[in-house]
Amino acid sequence: MAEKNWQAYDKDHIWHPYTQMQLVPEAIGVDRGEGSYLYLSDGRKIFDAISSWWLTLHGHAHPVIAKAIAAQAKKLEQVIFAGFTHEPASVLAKKLIEHAPEKLEKVFFSDDGSTAVEVAMKMCVQYWHQHKETRTTFLALDGAYHGDTFGAMSASARGIFTHPFGSMLFHVIHMPFPTPPVNGSKEYSKSEELFLEQLRNHAKHDHRIAGFIYEPLLLAAGGMKTWRSNVMEEAVKIAKEYGVLTIADEVMTGFGRTRTFFASDTIAFPPDIMTLSKGITGGFLPLGVTLATKKIYEAFLSDDRSQTFFHGHSYTGNPISCAAAVASFGIFEQEPVMDRIATICSVHNELMPKLAEKNNYNFRIQGTMAAMEPKNPEGYLSAKMQALGKACLDKGMLIRPLGDTIYFLPPYSTTRQDLEEAYGKLQEILDNDF
Ligand SMILES: Cc1ncc(COP(=O)(O)O)c(C=O)c1O
């Protein structure tokens, strides 16, 4: 189809995610990507400041991953994963286990972040079932976002995304989000204290609790809110003390986003289960992973086939996705990725506080993520922020505010100069239009 034709066809027939189709005239055509930039069908080049929904890790169309995908596609594109296996799955499992917090030694594949979370929650519930206990309630954080399937929605905060389905979601206890103290004090803030106290009470007294699910260090879609690793460590310690299983949802934070390889690396106690997706394939192909300890895995072993973990998806362990993920690990090994991450972090630390101060915004930085929001926020549907997103695009930058929160989470291919330019452009927009 010629360019005009395919874009017109999209407008007439394609239903886009998280998009009010009546209000968005048409989707922006993208012809190609390279490094941190997207090349649009109308000839413009834009900086991908949000890694295309937090996926793109080493840059768009990284040739090493592209080559690995092509080679795997010619060799074995797909095979049933029940009872069959292939080399890319094993090589990837080994790399994941080598990098993951200790004791996470079993790898369950699925397709995306939401399914990785569903798997984790089902594993928890069935783990207790295997032990002849009925535990079906989860603990989670206020403001959490774990995905759009029903289990993941249940674990997520109730709000605009889940509203129509409210009566269909199962019971999850959402505890106060542990906001760090404003003055940077080492002491716990009120909300940190409240969170730890509620966690302890539920973990100690409520024997329906199957597990505690949390986004380590960074509540992503909930507004890029940060929390402290000492609080996370204490929370995991409390959960372990009372036998509550812990699920670290690293779908967004994994693979260096918060500066360490996994956000869970910053604490002394490993989770029982960890979910991964997004950047796992470098952002090339869908893949979800749920890592579990041997203790969890062994609870499912039985002579009785009815005790099986009856969960799987058609594309589980897809060889091409696994090959892409192995190639992404190869880039970590071959290229100075951790240095690139450090550069992004240092630009954020230099420029975000100044930008926020100048414009009277609050700000937060967590590794390669830097976010800011007005001191008087308007709420998730803020028209002003929608307009700001559009103004950014007009200036050659993909920024998609999360409600009132404007943030940068660029691919690791981003240079100091790219990011400094992006900060400069954002300041110009705030100067002129907002
Ligand atoms: C922490 C977290 N968990 C789960 C998900 C769901 O992942 P997916 O969109 O791949 O289903 C997301 C997506 O933003 C996420 O940020």
Does residue 417 sit in the same domain as residue 268?
no
Q: What is the per-residue pLDDT across 293-321, written as a single tens digit (0 to 9) for each?
A: 999 999 999 999 999 999 999 999 999 99
Does residue 367 sit in the same domain as residue 386?
yes
Q: Which domain holds residue 392?
A: 3-58+336-432
Q: What is the per-residue pLDDT across 90-114, written as a single tens digit (0 to 9) for each?
A: 999 999 999 999 999 999 999 999 9
Domain count of the fold of the chain: 2
Does residue 187 sit in the same domain as residue 229?
yes
For residue 138, the CA-to-ligand 1 centroid distance in Å is 18
Does residue 345 sit in the same domain as residue 410?
yes
pLDDT for 378 equals: 85
Please state, in angstroms and rounded to a whole number, the distance separating the CA atoms of residues 118 and 279: 19
Q: What is the per-residue pLDDT across 105-158, written as a single tens digit (0 to 9) for each?
A: 999 999 999 999 999 999 999 999 999 999 999 999 999 999 999 999 999 999
- Mapped onto helix, strand or coil, the DSSP state of residue 415 is coil
Does residue 305 sit in the same domain as residue 251?
yes
321 close to ligand 1 (CB < 6 Angstrom): no
145 close to ligand 1 (CB < 6 Angstrom): yes
| Ligand 1 atom showing the smallest separation from residue 288 Cα | 10
Average pLDDT taken over every residue of the chain: 96
Decide which of 333, 352, 371 is a domain's last residue. Answer: 333
Distances (CA, A) of 202 to 156, 160, 228: 18, 27, 21
Q: What is the per-residue pLDDT across 18-75, written as a single tens digit (0 to 9) for each?
A: 999 999 879 999 999 999 999 999 999 999 999 999 999 999 999 999 999 999 999 9
| Ligand 1 atom showing the smallest separation from residue 117 Cα | 4
- At a CB cut-off of 8 Å and minimum separation 6, what does 115 contact? 147, 149, 288, 313
CB burial string 29-39: b at 16+ within 10 A, e below: ebeebebbbbe
Give start and end residues of each alpha helix (H) in 318-364: 319-334, 337-359
pLDDT for 384 equals: 87
pLDDT for 382 equals: 85
117 close to ligand 1 (CB < 6 Angstrom): yes
% the chain with pLDDT above 70: 99
| Ligand 1 atom showing the smallest separation from residue 148 Cα | 11
For residue 148, the CA-to-ligand 1 centroid distance in Å is 8
**How do the residues of the chain divide into helix, strand and coil, expressed in percent and rounded to 5?**
45, 15, 40
pLDDT for 145 equals: 98
Model confidence at 383, pLDDT cuts 50, 70, 90, reads: confident
Please state, in angstroms and rounded to a whole number, the distance separating the CA atoms of residues 286 and 290: 14
Q: What is the per-residue pLDDT across 257-306, written as a single tens digit (0 to 9) for each?
A: 999 999 999 999 999 999 999 999 999 999 999 999 999 999 999 999 99
pLDDT at 180 over 80: yes
pLDDT for 380 equals: 82
Residue 186 designated active-site: no
> Which residue CA neighbors atom 9 of ligand 1 most closely?
113
For residue 193, the CA-to-ligand 1 centroid distance in Å is 27
Q: For residue 42, list its beta bridge partners.
A: none
For residue 52, the domain's CATH number is: 3.90.1150.10
Does residue 329 sit in the same domain as residue 351?
no
pLDDT at 3 over 80: no
Model confidence at 231, pLDDT cuts 50, 70, 90, reads: very high
Q: Are 400 and 371 in contact (CB under 8 A)?
A: no
Does residue 312 sit in the same domain as residue 231?
yes
pLDDT for 433 equals: 67
The stretch 70-86 carries a mean pLDDT of 98
Decide which of 333, 360, 377 is a domain's last residue. Answer: 333
274 close to ligand 1 (CB < 6 Angstrom): no
Does residue 132 sit in the same domain as residue 104?
yes
Does residue 157 sit in the same domain as residue 112?
yes
Model confidence at 14, pLDDT cuts 50, 70, 90, reads: very high
Does residue 351 sit in the same domain as residue 405?
yes
| Ligand 1 atom showing the smallest separation from residue 54 Cα | 14
pLDDT at 377 over 90: no
For residue 257, the CA-to-ligand 1 centroid distance in Å is 14
Does residue 323 sit in the same domain as residue 381?
no
pLDDT at 4 over 90: no
Residue 145 designated active-site: yes
Decide which of 307, 333, 359 is a domain's last residue. Answer: 333
Q: Are 115 and 313 in contact (CB under 8 A)?
A: yes
* Max intra-chain CA distance, the chain: 70
> Which residue CA neighbors atom 13 of ligand 1 most closely?
147
pLDDT for 409 equals: 98
Does residue 303 sit in the same domain as residue 411?
no
